[in-house]
Each structure stands twice: as structure tokens, then as C-alpha cells.
Homo-oligomer: A and B are copies of this chain.
Amino acid sequence: MKPVIVVHGGAGRIFKEREQGSRDGVVRAALRGYGILKQGGSALDAVEEAVRSMEDDPHFNAGCGSLLNEKGEVEMDAIIMDGKNLDSGAVSAVKCIANPIKLARLVMEKTKHMLLTDHGAHLFAQAMGIPETPGEKLITERSWERWKKNLEGLQFQDYLGTVGAVAIDSEGNVACATSTGGLSNKLVGRVGDTACIGSGGYADNHSGASSTTGHGESIMKVVLARLILYHMEQGMSPEMAADTALDYMKTRVGGLGGVVVINSSGEWAARFSTKQMSWATVKDGQLHYGIYAGERHTKSVDEALASESGGF
């Protein structure tokens, strides 16, 4: 099996001045994940690395750069899932750690559980020796300004920038990972789709993997990631499954969003019903990426890696 990775940097509205940073961020994440796959690494390691790369990038609403809750704090959700055995790990409403996706992976591998929340997740992070990151280090000027404007009653389209990835490795295993700071000015303790298996992500070697972004509550209502895999189980391509599910979410509950999808043959899709979604994929040594509907740039991986080492 030829390895493939597809990443997204969130569906929603991306301001003009942030477009280049978003493109660079998803390209970098896809290249890093692909690097792992090319060396024979697992889909699980690849999606974790891609998401970690975007958590560390302040352009995205995950890790550093997360949007703030009503009290001006960062509270994050993340999930990772292994398509081989349907094993998964997730965390919800976690604070003061740089990489929630790494904590989610530890929940999967070091506990009998699948989801740890808030205070318990904090205790678990301590027990695992994960260093505490002061909350203010995760806050960017952009997230703080958005929070303040929302407090003043200005409404933004707030579900921007959840990050995620799906991959298939040389052994044919699929995996997904998703990470988010959630909605700006959300209630303390609000958990969105990302931490909920089937909503924020789902992976099953028998059909494929999906990672979602968009209006979390709508995604939860239709259990979007699992819905897409059902459509693929019924014979749809990743693109048709994604479009069918996104269309259903729009008509049934009025929600917009985006998804990256891969099937067990390595076919992929990056689709969205929002105005924009930053995405990137690498397959057969070719990088593709875009932000707007219909936008698709293509480069060889070698060329992209050369410009990465120069440009990033």
C-alpha cells in the first residue's frame, strides 16, 4: 500500500492576511506526517505528528492559538483513533498543556479508558510527566482580540481552525486525529465534537478514516465522521461520502463544516460546505493543497521540502 496523508487546518472563514500562514501550516503538517509514513512509520504516528505540528502553529485554533472560553481561558479537546482495532484516546476541556493530541494518545495507550476530562485529565497528564504550559503561553493576540470583540457583542464565525488529519500507512492501517480550542467565548466546560468518537473523528481499517471541523454542535447531531464511513461502507467514494454527509448536515440541522477523508484503498477527499478550509495532502510523492473551493496547487514533495527548509 502506498502511504497517503490528508490534513485540514479548519473550516470556516480565513481572513486574507492569514491565508498564507494557513496554507504554509497545513503543507508543513502534511509533509511531516508523510515523512513518517515514507520511513515505514504508522498511520497513527503520522496523524499525531501532523496534528502536533498544527497545535504548535499559532495560525490554528488548537494548542497555541486556541480560541478562549467565556472566562478568557484556553480549554482544549483532542482525539486520536486507530483503525486496526477501533482503539481510541481523547481528552476534553484540558488546560495548560501544549499538545492535547499527545495526551489523547497516552489515554489510548496507558489507560483502560478512552476519554479523560478536565481535572482528571490534568491529574493524568501530571502522572505521565507532561510538563505544564502556563495558560497564557497558549494565548495569541488574535485569540484574545476575538474573545474581547465577542464580549463586546460582535459576532464572529467562531468555529474556525480545528485541525485534523487522516492517513493510511504502508501496511494498510488507517488512523485519524483531531484537536481544537473549540468555540470562542464558549461556556466553561463546553465540550464539542472533537472529543466525541464518531463526531470529531473515526477510523476503521475496513472502510477508512475521517476527521471533521466546523460547527461542533451540528457535527455532533449527525455524528458526522461515522456517517461518512457508513456512506463509504455502502460503496460511496470518499468525495461522494463527504459531500453527501455535509449536505445532510446542512439540510437537516443547518450546520456547516468540512472534512478530510481517506478510504482503505488510499483514495482521499478534502471537502467543505463553509467558504474556506485549509487542507493539504501527499500521495505518490505529490503535494496538493488549497483553501478555497476549487483551489488546488500541486508540487512534488521534493520541491515542497526544499521550499519548506528555506521558507518556514
Interface residues, chain A, with chain B CB atoms under 8 Å away: 75, 85-88, 92-93, 111-124, 186-192, 196-199, 202, 216-217, 220-223, 226, 230, 252-253
Contact = CB atoms under 8 A, between A and B. Distances in A.
A123 B188 contact: yes
5 contacts: A87-B221, A113-B187, A118-B119, A120-B190, A197-B223
B223 A88 contact: no
Contacts of A124: 187, 189
A129 B198 CA distance: 33
A187 B217 contact: no
Copies of this protein in the complex: 2
A202 B111 CA distance: 27
Nearest to A69: B120
Given A197-B221, A223-B198, A115 B191 contact: yes
Question: Ordered nearest first, which 9 A-B pairs have the shortest CB separation?
Answer: A120-B189, A118-B118, A120-B188, A198-B223, A86-B221, A115-B191, A113-B190, A117-B117, A116-B189
A220 B253 contact: no
Contacts of A186: 113
A155 to B, nearest CB: 12
Nearest to A254: B85
Nearest to A85: B253
Contacts of A123: 187-189
A92 B191 contact: yes
Contacts of A217: 112-114
Nearest to A182: B113
A223 B28 CA distance: 33
B114 A220 contact: yes
A187 B88 contact: no
A210 to B, nearest CB: 12
Contacts of A221: 86-88, 114, 197
Q: Which of A113, A114, A189, A199 has the most CB of B within 10 A?
A: A189
Nearest to A249: B86
